[in-house]
Chain A
């Protein structure tokens, strides 16, 4: 068999999958977004820009998503990096595996159940009550952006920890010794050697968390209580409740566009930060 033919054959399943599961649906979404809503919902072919003109009606959902998804990603990163650093560099190798397993243990239960648990913790009889009994007022936690962020960090932390851990673990310890040997104190060795060499993991983890967060709807639904909703919630509403498919398609297409732009800007920035190394920009 000719090598070119063999390559084509090997790639055929993946190509077909991408075509039918990604490209085609995306085209359908774009097509629908220019259509009109039928009398009983659904889609009626047409060409109108009304759906896009009407996007501002869902501005709150976009605003929440665009603010809270990056913020959630940054929070995950700030908590995950020290954790991954400790696991990869500082922790006793004998304990490393056990500690890593502890990081993924929460994944063994459905996110749905775990988020319901947070309702109890953040709800009136949970933390707010404890704070009240300490005489520090009675803050409202559930159904606030804070609750959504807590849920996000809780749910997505392992996705950030693992890529960073892998990147840190790959770093040759002798590079850190060489840096110290050349007169660099530990904190500068971290900034000049460890951090730049782990940026690939930071980029991968951030991408993973950010992309998933942009489409998130479960956590805002449960912990935001319909008050803090994401574009994902708007889509559920438009497609399943009010059955306004064309408007929903316009919202979805806009979300994809926003994501493309943000991800591109982010990857450009990471590439510049890491001095033009390819392995970082490609994740």
Chain B
């Protein structure tokens, strides 16, 4: 499916003096999609968002919105709206005036009745109908968040930018809001661009996630893509968790790669592309892909249990052996009764499917 791009970053670099906040960003944002920038603080995700909003101007490269180069265009002339981290609601205005602020700035100014109607509709959409006369400080954190959302969507922006909008909410409220935000996006059909450092938030809501690292895009893809086919150790580590085993390529076997671990142990792994023999790689093995069987199971690797952590819906085992090193395995509850009540110190066999591990070039 070839969807119209609503925004593009073309080789965009942002420098503050000697500090490079974003480097060579190339990204196409599709009409109507929910895209997240995900990464630790200081990775450049907020800089990218602020360049779309117009608060920062690219040092190099081009930013396009709706097919138009917007470099140098100030924020008030861009067809995008933002939900700010601490909401940035105007404290001297009531809820309705906050929400209607954007419409009130249009020239020619829409009639008051029309603004009131649009404000009412927006408040209804965020389930705050009837709260128009409230003062901002009378609203709870979650309600303020909704006001901020209504204030942005009432303008029908081409892109809605969300800067860590849920960071200040408690966990339960955050989860509810995630679901609500996603359904609101479907309902409105507006492109949402979210910045977050919370991988769960990014994975659960987004159509695509753009993972950033040190000012650069590490990988862009659907949440499933990023989880199943990370292209670097950084992405594999940031999205979900993984065991990493340093290895060296021995050769290719069809589309699989054969490799040897630190103590000569042989692995067969998936690989994003062909790798030359002798290449240093790390093998990424998801904890849920590691199975535990009684010692002596065919193809099993003997390991010893060093920790057992009961986590309710699953149990986590930490395994150790000279050949492999340290390995984390997760056993879902009820999956395999025998693999559930193992004691620390027990000798077991660790198993994984052929091609369970993924070969990643070292970075």
Contact = CB atoms under 8 A, between A and B. Distances in A.
Interface residues on B, range: 20 to 34
B92 A182 contact: no
A193 interface: yes
Q: Secondary structure at chain B's binding surface: helix, strand, loop or mixed?
A: loop
B102 A182 contact: yes
A182 B88 contact: no
Interface string B138-152: 000000000000010
Given A182-B155, A183-B105, A174 B86 contact: yes
Contacts of A181: 53-55, 75-76, 80-82
Contacts of B88: 172, 174-175, 177-178
Contacts of A196: 92
B81 A182 contact: yes
B160 to A, nearest CB: 11
A215 B107 CA distance: 49
Interface string A171-190: 01011011111111110100
B74 interface: yes
A197 interface: yes
Given A182-B102, A275-B92, A277-B92, A177 B155 contact: no
Contacts of B81: 181-182
Nearest to A188: B105
Nearest to B92: A196
A274 interface: yes
Interface in A265-280: 274-275, 277
Interface in B40-97: 53-55, 74-77, 80-82, 84-86, 88-93
Most chain B CB atoms below 10 A, which of A180, A184, A197, A274 = A180
B101 interface: yes
A183 B76 contact: yes
B117 to A, nearest CB: 18
B55 A182 contact: no
Contacts, number: 63
Interface residues on A, range: 20 to 34
A89 B31 CA distance: 37
B171 interface: no
Q: Secondary structure at chain A's binding surface: helix, strand, loop or mixed?
A: helix
A187 B90 CA distance: 17
A166 B88 CA distance: 19
Most chain A CB atoms below 10 A, which of B77, B80, B102, B106 = B102
A175 B92 CA distance: 11
Contacts of A186: 76
Contacts of B93: 275
B347 to A, nearest CB: 58
Contacts of B90: 175, 178-179, 193
B275 to A, nearest CB: 47
A252 to B, nearest CB: 39
Interface of B: 53-55, 74-77, 80-82, 84-86, 88-93, 101-102, 105-106, 151, 155
17 contacts: A172-B88, A177-B55, A178-B90, A180-B76, A181-B55, A181-B76, A181-B81, A181-B82, A182-B151, A183-B106, A184-B76, A184-B101, A185-B76, A193-B90, A197-B92, A275-B92, A277-B92
Q: Give 10 nearest A-B pairs by CB, closest first.
A: A183-B105, A182-B102, A174-B88, A178-B88, A180-B75, A184-B105, A180-B76, A181-B82, A196-B92, A183-B76
Given A177-B82, A180-B54, A193-B90, 18 more contacts: A172-B86, A175-B88, A177-B55, A179-B90, A179-B101, A180-B55, A180-B76, A181-B55, A181-B80, A182-B76, A182-B101, A182-B102, A183-B76, A183-B77, A184-B101, A197-B92, A275-B92, A275-B93
